Amino acid sequence: MILKMDTQDNQTIIFEILREKLNLSSGAYVIKEPVIKEAWSPVEVDLIIKDDIRSYFIEIKSKVRVDSIAKLVLLKELLQKQNKDVSNMFLVIASKIIPPIVEEIAKQVDIKLVTIPHNIGLSVQRYDYFPSKIKVTSEKSWKVITRLMKEKITSIRQLSIIESVSYGWTHATVQSLLSQRVVTKKGNYVSIFDTNKLLNGVAWERPFENLCASEITIGYHDAFKAAQELSHILKNKGIKFAFTSYTAGGLYTGYAIRHDTIYLYIEKNEIDFFINTFREVEKQGIKARIYTPDRDVFNDTREKEGIQVVSPSQALLDLAGLGYSGRDITKAMVEKYASI
């Protein structure tokens, strides 16, 4: 019976217990693929952990029974008959309750038993320590990815610690990128392998223009001066805002930005105020493209030359979301990201 943790905290506890009891390295990660792909009735386990050349096939139970042992033994026999190398295959059962008879049998067939705390909630559904599909543009995953861009090469554990993202989620993000060959792994260290593939994925998954709430003409003739003056006005009014996209990217990289448009996030309930206050109906001017945030973009704003801009991480996400139309400035942002 395959299991699912009730909460993300419990999931992390389970993984850390297994890490300690099995003496796993910091580079250990979960793989999500069938054990026997070609079998007409595949025998599956709840969890597979890969650690260098070693593979751990793990069943997770509230109370372990003899049939769980039989299932793992059968799995190993099937793999042997298919001429699979099982020399680095290790069988594990993690359970809250382990009866003495199970302990005796497990010892005889070389199955490792791991006790898990009784207060960890388990439900009889598919075990899913990691989300089935990681969105690289989700807040937690993007924090991990941009930290990896900044560090160039580092361990999964360090990514988790520095960005305060759970170890499980960090592993899931990196593993997803590994499977897509966006990231490469050497020993316990990972690094970005294919930036173009990553940027293409961002553009497809989170098109930035989908967040555009409105475009208006404002009474300015220079985008830089407009952003400076509006920053001053909006800060004094206590309105949450931050310039992004080309405006922020140009300030972070020195890349020549468009002079006919400014790009900014405004708190949703203040958008009407901004439009009614600054829109010019008859006069000519530049454009202001206003975006509704899909996450907290105001928590880590920076000030660049008197202009309040989103964080480098958010700016890169938004620029990548422009797709090919913003690819030049996005690449400039990637190149300078480590030093920003």
In the sheet that 241-243 helps form, which strands lie side by side, from edge to edge? 212-218, 286-291, 261-266, 241-243, 307-309, 302-304
Least confident of 61-75, 102-116, 154-168, 321-335: 61-75
- Cα–Cα distance between 190 and 302 in angstroms, integer? 29
pLDDT of residue 319: 96
150: enclosing H helix or E strand: helix 139-151
With pLDDT > 90 as the criterion, what percentage of the chain qualifies? 52
**Phi-psi map region of 329: left, alpha, beta (phi>0 left; psi -120 to 50 alpha):** alpha
Residues 6+ apart with CB under 8 A from 167: 12, 15, 16, 156, 157, 160
Residue 153 tokens read as 């090469």
Least confident of 80-84, 276-280, 312-316: 80-84
Model pTM score: 0.63
Residue 68 banded pLDDT, cuts 50, 70, 90: confident
Instruction: Give yes or no for residue 290 having a pLDDT over 60.
Output: yes
The CA-atom distances, in angstroms, between 12 and each of 16, 24, 48, 81, 251 are 6, 14, 15, 35, 39
- Cα–Cα distance between 273 and 43 in angstroms, integer? 60
Structurally, at CATH architecture level, domain 139-205 sits in Orthogonal Bundle (1.10)
Residue 133 banded pLDDT, cuts 50, 70, 90: low
CATH class of domain segment(s) 208-329: alpha beta
- Cα–Cα distance between 231 and 229 in angstroms, integer? 5
* Helix-helix angle 327-336:195-205, to 10 degrees: 130
Where are the domain boundaries for CATH 3.40.1350.10 in the chain?
4-123
**Helix, strand, coil percentages for the chain (3-state, nearest 5):** 45, 20, 35
Secondary structure (3-state) at 51:
strand
- Cα–Cα distance between 264 and 317 in angstroms, integer? 14
Rounded mean pLDDT of 217-234? 95
Instruction: Give yes or no for residue 125 having a pLDDT over 90.
Output: no
113: enclosing H helix or E strand: strand 111-115
Q: Which residues of 213-240 are buried (b: 16+ CB within 10 A; e: fewer)?
A: beebbbebeebbebbbebbeebeeeebb
Length of the chain: 340
Instruction: Give yes or no for residue 61 having a pLDDT over 90.
Output: no
CATH code given to domain 4-123: 3.40.1350.10
Residue 251 banded pLDDT, cuts 50, 70, 90: very high
* Contact between residue 116 and residue 18 where contact means Cβ atoms under 8 Å apart: no
Rounded mean pLDDT of 111-127? 70
Where are the domain boundaries for CATH 3.30.460 in the chain?
208-329
Where are the domain boundaries for CATH 1.10.10.10 in the chain?
139-205
